Amino acid sequence: MKHVISVTVENKPGVLARISSMFARRGFNIHSLTVGPTEDPRLSRMTVVVDGPEMEQIVKQLYKLVHTVKVTELEPGETIEREIMLVRVNADPTRRGELLDAANLFSAKVVDVGATTVTFEVAGEPSTLNDFLELLRTYGIVTLVKSGRIALAKDQKSTTRRGRLRTA
């Protein structure tokens, strides 16, 4: 089962290496790893997608690492997840129109046009990107690059007595 773990860490040299090697030492394969700044420039947020059984022990081990501030295993269905992808496909001039129509269904942007290829940029939920890729396979994928997954827990909402939604 794939797990999405969000780790907030101090912006210090070597933190990424320590965290990724911790997963490797325990025999976990990291499917995706992204790191970026947070609202506080002293901190970074890592999003790690890993395949494995229960993550409780991993979470405990992450907390033991120096410079770890917070660790959260994000629950499926309660998480906003996004990726970005650049994909170059064969684009025979006679089929470019249908290719562009298909890309439009996924809100993909054309970012480069060559003599025989078209390159698209698309961002969204990982499943949407995978669906777009499956559609493009019939045209012939030339080059593909995907970012790692980024994720946040959905905001908790509660209902007041009057029935209006309020952020908790």
Q: How far apart are CA 110 and CA 145, in angstroms?
A: 15
Q: Which tens digits make up the pLDDT trace of 36-63?
A: 999 999 999 999 999 988 889 999 999 9
pLDDT in tens, 112-159: 999 999 999 999 999 999 999 999 999 999 999 999 999 999 998 765
Q: So where are the chain's domains?
A: 2-74, 80-151
Instruction: Identify the CATH homologous superfamily for domain 80-151.
Output: ACT-like. Chain A, domain 2 (3.30.70.1150)
> Can 2-74 and 80-151 be said to share one CATH topology?
yes
Instruction: State the DSSP string of 110-146.
Output: EEEE-SSEEEEEEEE-HHHHHHHHHHHTTT-EEEEEE
Does the structural domain 2-74 have CATH classification 3.50.50.60?
Answer: no
- What is the C-alpha separation between 33 and 51, in angstroms, rounded? 12
Q: CA 72 → CA 24, 29, 39, 58, 129, distances in Å?
A: 19, 19, 17, 11, 25
Its pTM stands at 0.81
